[in-house]
Structure 1
Amino acid sequence: MYSNNPKKYKRNSIRLKGYDYAQKGLYFITICTQNRHCFFGKITNGVLHLNDAGKMIEQWYYELENKFDDIKCGTHVVMPNHFHAIIHNIGVGADLRVCPNSNMGEHVPIMGEHIGSPLHVVVQWFKTMTTNQYIRNVKNNNWQRFDGKLWQRNYWEHIIRNEKSHQNISNYIVNNPLKWNADTLNPEP
């Protein structure tokens, strides 16, 4: 039975309270498959072997740059059951090709004003496109079926605040396949 109590169904946000995820910056994201099922390939002796589904995930990642003018794709890795990436939001107007005839001094963003694509919109578009493509391939190419949803409902993110953190996270992403046997996301350690 449905309850009229709004607190009963309220989800706690895992996002940084008060932070505008549309502002320029670097964001480290991790998206996991539903039930951590391995759909995208396998890792043998620390070597990643993407299957066609894993390659499709990678292709849609690069499509983010075509869909969102203010998004640049950084270091990433498609793991058997999750995806790590650094997304660089350069912000609207940061690239002079966006509006070459505008006087940049006329508009100064005010505190709290969105200047780029919100991270949740970028991630949701990516999850939607990859899910739709995966479903088409289940029907047409006998890809492994999934139960209910391809991706977990949420995603994990970390705001990268300095170059040292950026370098450490990039190294973590690149070396992630080598550490698969000890990875907490590995369902068969």
Structure 2
Amino acid sequence: MTKFRNKYRIEGNRMRILNYSAPGQYFITNNIQDHHWILGHVANQKMVYSEYGEIVKKEVLKISEYHPRIILDEWVVMPNHFHLLIILKEYGFYNGISEVDDYNMQKNHEFYFSHKWWNKPKYQPTKKEVEEYCKLRRRMIIPKLMGKLQMKTSKDINILRKTPGTKNWQHDYHDHVIRRRASYINIKNYIINNPKNWKQDTFYDRA
């Protein structure tokens, strides 16, 4: 993590080519624009939500409604950011909450990621292939989830603040695909203990 204008920022880390609808465990972090503390504060190692933080918390708890394969595993909303631990179950899975149809997305992604160049680690895709991927990525579950979450919370926050059109979230969120059980446990514990360790967190730096 580096600093820009003496404020922490997270570099975009999404792999150039990755199926963000594939079954797996995803650790996601999104920051408030300029790291402003608008979502609340930490007192006695517990998060105390502002009215804006309550908006974000309420929407985070709706995430499993976004898509039938989404399981919201662990989460925390902090004064200037949130962390999510999202599980995408196998294709065709139904979480018992969402009413979104997954069939077409499954078929499109299975076809695209079966292309021969995708399975070659050292292969450099052409500009056309990258453009094709970028168009598809916007329709993948994780990007769609984040877009919807950002849009809905920002709209409601702006209504409450009477600041229509204001950008509340940093555009480039941080995501990490968890591939090992040990990493999953460490990340889950990190999220759970985030309020307790708030003053040691790199996000503590006030804007």
TM range (shorter): 0.7 to 0.9
Equivalent in the alignment of 2:88: 89
Summarize the Cα distance change of 1:20–1:50 in structure 2 as closer, same or farther, 3 Å threshold: same
Alignment correspondent of 2:69: 70
Determine if the alignment matches structure 1 residue 178 to structure 2 residue 196: yes
Q: Structure 1 residues 74, 170: closer, same or farther in 2, change over 3 A?
A: same
Deviations 1:51-80 (A, max 9, x none): 222122111112221121221111000000
Structure 1 unaligned residues grouped into runs of 5+: 1-11, 103-108, 140-144
- Superposition deviation, residue 96 in structure 1: 9.0
- The structure with more helix, counted as a fraction of residues: 2
| Cα RMSD for the two superposed structures | 2.8
Q: Distance in 1 between matches of 2:12 and 2:43?
A: 36
- Alpha-carbon contact 1:68-1:117 (below 8 Å) kept: no
Please tell me the residue identity of whatever aligns with 1:180: W
Give the fraction of aligned pairs with identical amino acids, expressed as a percent.
Answer: 27
Q: Secondary structure at the match of 2:20?
A: coil
Structure 2 match to 1:46: 45
Does structure 2 retain, via aligned residues, the 8 Å contact 1:75–1:85? yes
Name the TM-score, length of structure 1 as normaliser: 0.76
Are residues 96 and 153 of structure 1, via their aligned partners in 2, closer, same or farther at CA, if it must alter by over 3 Å?
closer
Per-residue deviation, 1:46: 2.1
Unmatched 5+ stretches in structure 2: 1-10, 104-109, 115-135
**Structure 1, 122-131 or 54-63: larger mean CA deviation:** 54-63
Structure of greater Rg: 1
Q: Residues 111 and 37 from structure 1, CA distance in 2 versus in 1: closer, same or farther, beyond 3 angstroms?
A: same
TM-aligned CA deviation for residue 91 of structure 1: 4.1
- SS of the aligned residue for 1:176 comes to coil
* Distance change >3 Å, CA 96–CA 126, structure 1 → 2: closer
Indicate the SS of the match to 2:184: helix
CA distance in structure 1 between the partners assigned to 2:160 and 2:23 by the alignment: 35
Q: Are the counterparts in 2 of residues 37 and 187 from structure 1 also a CA contact under 8 Å?
A: no
> TM-score by structure 2 length?
0.69
Deviation at 1:118, TM superposition (A): 2.6
